[in-house]
């Protein structure tokens, strides 16, 4: 029991003497959160850390000694300052024209937390009481009645009285500054989009072609600020898939619309066949799926004069 008490005392002493660094290590450990199951388990592990650690480091860096908030007040300050730091991180990413994602915001918050942890740890080192050697080799603090400029009760009371007001003013100033910069900074260009669609609505349902075939019209809309390369494929999908035309590789410039048409012969056999046109961007990879972006359109095609019910879909 005595050994356990000594161990707990040693752990608590280590925490009190180096809690900013320990909190920073805890915050940096969030990079391993993807190893946890998704949903509530991951949220329960991440949310308290995100809401408390950056703000608590800010409290430790700003306040020192007896002026530092304690208990519920400390937690309240930590949550408010964590939210303000996340707003500041998002504003910094926006000003740098960097996409605001959970990962990019986390790394900015990690950098801010590292700076605050260094300042808070330095405060702890300067606040530790000095020691003097004794005749028997023991060390004791200097005379406890020695006045300390940081222990002035009147000064501490004034700081506690005006600290909430200063926090509110700082928060409102940061929010007002965020709104101002959001309205005045140049906006990043839109990401744009690419679209493959039929040029008419009749291809949305089953269509008929004569024995001589027919032409179907489509369009590719490329509303992006860069040139891109695509591969176009057209196949039958019935009892067995077969190519309807040779694959076509084409380049489409920024903000362009390409009109196209496809000659469709009479479907082979007695069945309705599904025609599928696929557009694949060959010079890009989707960061989420790790695959090339793909668009497709389709239509059911059957030969005129054939009974629709007699054809397998």
The overall pTM is greater than 0.75: no
pLDDT, tens digit only, all 313 positions of the chain: 566 555 555 655 655 667 788 888 888 888 777 666 666 777 777 788 888 888 888 888 887 766 777 778 788 888 888 888 888 888 888 888 788 887 888 888 888 888 888 888 887 777 655 444 444 444 445 444 444 444 556 665 665 566 556 656 665 666 566 666 656 665 555 567 888 998 876 666 678 888 888 888 899 999 888 888 999 999 988 666 788 888 999 999 988 999 988 888 888 776 778 889 999 999 888 777 788 899 999 888 888 776 554 454 4
pLDDT on residue 38: 63
Please check whether residue 302 is in contact with residue 273, taking contact to mean a CB–CB distance below 8 angstroms.
yes
Please check whether residue 259 is in contact with residue 197, taking contact to mean a CB–CB distance below 8 angstroms.
no
pLDDT on residue 6: 57
CB count, 10 Å around CB of 131?
11
pLDDT on residue 143: 45
pLDDT on residue 240: 67
Domains and CATH numbers, the chain: 2-131+150-184 (no CATH), 193-308 (2.60.40.1710)
pLDDT on residue 249: 92
Long-range contacts of 65-70 (CB under 8 A, 24+ apart): 65/127, 65/150, 65/151, 65/156, 66/150, 66/151, 66/156, 67/150, 67/155, 67/156, 67/159, 67/160, 67/163, 69/160, 69/163
- β partners of residue 252: 228
pLDDT on residue 279: 93
Q: Name the helix (H) or strand (E) containing 57.
A: helix 40-62
Q: What are the DSSP E strand ranges found in 139-255?
A: 139-141, 193-198, 207-209, 214-223, 228-237, 241-252
pLDDT on residue 219: 92
Please check whether residue 90 is in contact with residue 116, taking contact to mean a CB–CB distance below 8 angstroms.
no
Angle between helix 71-95 and helix 40-62 axes, rounded to 10 deg: 100
CA distance 214 to 244: 13
Query: 206 φ, ψ to 5°?
Result: -65, 130
- β partners of residue 133: 139
């Amino acid at each position: 029991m005595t050994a356990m008490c000594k161990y707990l005392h040693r752990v608590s002493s280590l925490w009190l003497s180096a809690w900013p660094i320990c909190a920073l290590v805890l915050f940096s450990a969030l990079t391993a959160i993807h190893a946890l199951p998704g949903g509530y388990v991951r949220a329960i592990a991440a949310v308290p850390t995100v809401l408390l650690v950056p703000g608590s480091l800010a409290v430790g860096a700003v306040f020192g000694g007896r002026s530092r908030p304690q208990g519920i007040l400390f937690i309240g300050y930590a949550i408010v300052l964590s939210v303000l730091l996340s707003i500041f991180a998002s504003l910094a990413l926006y000003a740098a024209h960097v996409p605001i994602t959970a990962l990019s915001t986390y790394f900015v918050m990690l950098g801010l937390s590292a700076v605050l942890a260094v300042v808070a740890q330095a405060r702890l080192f300067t606040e530790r009481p000095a020691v003097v050697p004794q005749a028997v080799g023991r060390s004791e603090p200097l005379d406890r009645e020695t006045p300390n400029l940081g222990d002035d009760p009147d000064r501490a009371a004034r700081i506690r009285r005006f600290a909430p007001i200063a926090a509110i003013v700082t928060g409102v100033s940061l929010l007002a500054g965020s709104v101002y910069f959001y309205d005045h900074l140049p906006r990043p260009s839109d990401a744009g989009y690419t679209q493959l669609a039929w040029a008419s609505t009749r291809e949305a349902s089953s269509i008929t072609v004569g024995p001589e075939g027919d032409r179907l019209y489509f369009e590719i809309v490329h509303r992006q600020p860069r040139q891109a390369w695509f591969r176009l494929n057209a196949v039958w999908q019935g009892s067995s898939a077969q190519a309807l035309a040779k694959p076509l590789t084409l380049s489409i410039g920024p903000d362009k619309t390409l009109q196209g048409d496809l000659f469709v012969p009479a479907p082979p056999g007695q069945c309705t066949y599904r025609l599928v046109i696929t557009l694949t961007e060959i010079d890009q990879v989707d960061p989420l799926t790790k695959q090339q972006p793909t668009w497709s359109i389709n239509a059911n095609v059957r030969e005129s004069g054939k009974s629709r019910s007699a054809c397998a879909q």
